Amino acid sequence: MDAVTVIRDKRDGLRLTDEQIQWFVGRYAEGDVVADEQAAALAMAIFFNGMESSELDAWTRAMVDTGQTLDLTEVGRPTVDKHSTGGVGDKVSLVLVPMVAACGAAVPQLSGRGLGHTGGTLDKMEAIPGWTSKLEPEAMIRILREVGGVIAGASADLAPADQRLYALRDVTSTVDSIPLIASSIMSKKIAEGTDALVLDVKVGSGAFLPELDRARELAATMVGIGERNGVRTVALLTAMETVLGRAVGNALEVSEALEVLDGGGPPDLVEVTVALAREMVSLAGLHVDPADVLSSGRAREVWNAMVRAQGGDPLASLAKAPHSEIIRAEATGVLTRVDCRSVGIAAWRLGAGRERKEDSVSASAGVICLAKPGELVKVGDPILELHTEDDSRFYAAKAALTRAITVADEMPSPTPLVIDRVD
């Protein structure tokens, strides 16, 4: 077996054998036989030629086999997780995990950090004083057993081949490949050991894949991988044309999530979160309505216990930015558009996001949508409120919003938040 032959076969459109895949992925993870440039060449060949479903299953399994698989059998509850493809203002996990845990499931949410215009769940949670994302497997299982929910960073031992390959794809323009995206996500979820999984595949200007057809293809691909690997899997396609909720930025999003847990919060955020929670509860075989659990206050109680179990103070004050500036309406009429991606880029430039994985983020920076599409506005009305620790960042943030806001004479047609379901 040699790397050049594997690359050539995929370059020429052949289906790689299971043995080729297992050898290549395993040797790349070990870091001594397959070089980065060879892995990059194979990723580019996959980008152009795709993978058959059985080939993709073998690829995903090979990535899982490069590391450990968590054993959650001692948790004592049905296990179910959720993964989002990422968006702007997507603080769903912060509400969803304690809500589903309060329904009786165990939710082992292994999350990531933000990059570019999309936010990361770990960055948001780290805005809570004292909270840590670093948990050993034994501690994670104990918290799942006692509390029901965990939000933590993935261990370096979980699908390590994927971690190496993802960094390489990021610098070789091979991120946007459905087989590679699907296997990257699903290898970590399979290694996580959960019984069931709900996928939140975002669609719209603020999403990783803005086109509906591509998002639906990704959803179907991931559902297929999950089901064939013994993980009960369902996907919802949800709208990301505008900010979910009103807050974008780490502490700002935590604050908004707490509003929902306390029985309030933006209706769009509540709707999407409850829809995903119902899918998770159903897959877990539980007979309870998450909306009732949310309104009862039990989800907030689980949140407090989750935060304390990971070293945080759920009652601590969150960071507030020392500088703010308002973006105002330049016309009178109906606000028909606040471009989601532009708002995400503005929040990133204000300090809430990062350009490279090693960059630090500001807890307090971000954007609040004071008005949302469908609302009537007059000239001078506040539309967006920008927050930052460094007022020199306002110029670049406002530049990202130059063409982001549209005011028209007619009300836009309503669009559903939950677009489709794939199972």
Catalytic residue among 60, 66, 79, 84: 84
Annotation says 121 is catalytic: yes
Terminal C-alpha separation, the chain: 37
Catalytic residue among 10, 77, 82, 393: 82
CA-to-CA distance for 358 and 115, rounded, in angstroms? 10
CA-to-CA distance for 261 and 259, rounded, in angstroms? 6
Annotation says 184 is catalytic: yes
Catalytic residue among 10, 27, 189, 393: 189
Catalytic residue among 27, 61, 164, 188: 188
Annotation says 84 is catalytic: yes
CA-to-CA distance for 203 and 220, rounded, in angstroms? 14
128 Rama sector, left if φ>0, alpha if ψ -120 to 50, beta otherwise: beta
Annotation says 83 is catalytic: yes
Catalytic residue among 10, 61, 77, 83: 83
| Collapsed DSSP state (helix, strand, coil) of residue 394 | helix
Specify the length of the chain in residues: 423
Catalytic residue among 85, 121, 183, 238: 121
Catalytic residue among 77, 117, 164, 169: 169
Catalytic residue among 184, 242, 273, 342: 184
Annotation says 170 is catalytic: no
Strands of 176-246, DSSP E = 196-203, 232-239
Tell me the three-class secondary structure of 94-106, residue by residue. HHHHHHHHHCCCE
Annotation says 81 is catalytic: yes
Tokens representing residue 373 in the block: 């599409």
Annotation says 341 is catalytic: no
CB 352 within 8 A of CB 249: yes
On the CB side of 39, CA atoms within 13 Å amount to 26
If residue 344 lies in a helix (H) or strand (E), which one and from where to where? helix 340-347
Tell me the catalytic residues. 81-84, 121, 169, 184, 188-189
